[in-house]
Amino acid sequence: MTKIMIVEDEAALTTLLKYNLEKQGYETVVVMDGKDVMPTAMQEKPDLILLDWMLPNVQGIDLCREIRRTYELRSTPIIMLTARSEEGDKVRGLSFGADDYMTKPYSIPELMARIMALLRRVQIEVPQDNLSYEDLTMDFAKRRVMRGERPVHLGPTEFRLLQYLMEKPGVVLSREALLKLVWGGSIHVELRTVDVHIRRLRRALNEGGEPDIVRTVRSAGYALDSTPNDEEE
Ligand code: CA
């Protein structure tokens, strides 16, 4: 059974989410206090986390970062629920490791659709073989990425992006193509979201001071390419 962890401090919203998710056949775990999030997530190992941005004591964004940094939880998809509508905050939420976000008040059917889309995206069959390019290797069985001897920590969305880039090194994939491959062409996702996740992927890949391996081809898209990147974002 697919288990969804609801992190939300407003009781009415918690009840609404729990009711609707259970009606869809999901198992739910509710956490209302930010400090219980990490221990509960470690114990319950949810398949997806709905994370409120504004929690008392702990910021949703800090939790998001902590989940991504925790080995056992790093590939758990996260949907950020935010009361703020400012574009900057949305992008900030994504850049701290969330896979999607919704602004309150959100429509329950749309949230359900996004949960399904995100679960489908991360549960897609992974290739049997490992992929490698230059000093980069992807081990699908272990769900591990290495740059030389250094482990690269990627969230589920960046992992999928890298997978498609690794399958065709040197070939430029358009943002539209990546959106379709990774997000299944979801109508809710903007092209700019691809850039946000590419930026995150690039940061993780180059974190050890290695040369940039993700090439940005302006107005065309992205490619994995070890030759110097002469066109910056
Ligand atoms: Ca709240």
Q: What is the model's pLDDT at position 68? A: 86
Are 109 and 172 found together in one domain? no
Walk along the chain (233 residues) and give the pLDDT tens digit of each residue: 899 999 999 999 999 999 999 999 999 999 999 999 999 999 999 999 999 988 888 888 889 889 988 888 888 999 988 876 655 666 666 767 888 888 888 889 999 999 998 888 777 656 667 899 999 999 988 888 999 999 999 988 999 999 999 988 888 999 988 988 888 766 677 888 899 999 999 999 999 999 999 999 888 899 998 876 555 44
Q: For residue 5, how far is its CA from the centre of ligand 1 (angstroms)?
A: 15
Are 160 and 215 found together in one domain? yes
Q: What is the model's pLDDT at position 125? A: 58
Q: Quick check: is 230 in a domain?
A: no
Query: What is the value of pTM for the model shown?
Result: 0.67
Q: What is the CATH number of the domain that holds 89?
A: 3.40.50.2300
Question: Of 100, 122, 144, which residue is a domain's last?
Answer: 122
Q: What is the model's pLDDT at position 67? A: 92
Are 12 and 115 found together in one domain? yes
Q: For residue 13, how far is its CA from the centre of ligand 1 (angstroms)?
A: 9
Q: Quick check: is 158 in a domain?
A: yes
Q: What is the model's pLDDT at position 84? A: 64
Q: For residue 85, how far is its CA from the centre of ligand 1 (angstroms)?
A: 14
- Burial class of residue 82 in the structure, from the number of CB atoms within 10 Å of its CB (0-12 exposed, 13-18 middle, 19+ buried): buried
Supply the DSSP symbol for 72.
G
Are 27 and 87 found together in one domain? yes
* SS3 label, residue 131: strand
Q: For residue 68, how far is its CA from the centre of ligand 1 (angstroms)?
A: 21
Q: How far apart are CA 41 and CA 206, in angstroms?
A: 29
Q: Give the range of the structural domain holding residue 186, as residue numbers without chain letter.
A: 131-224
Q: For residue 9, how far is its CA from the centre of ligand 1 (angstroms)?
A: 5
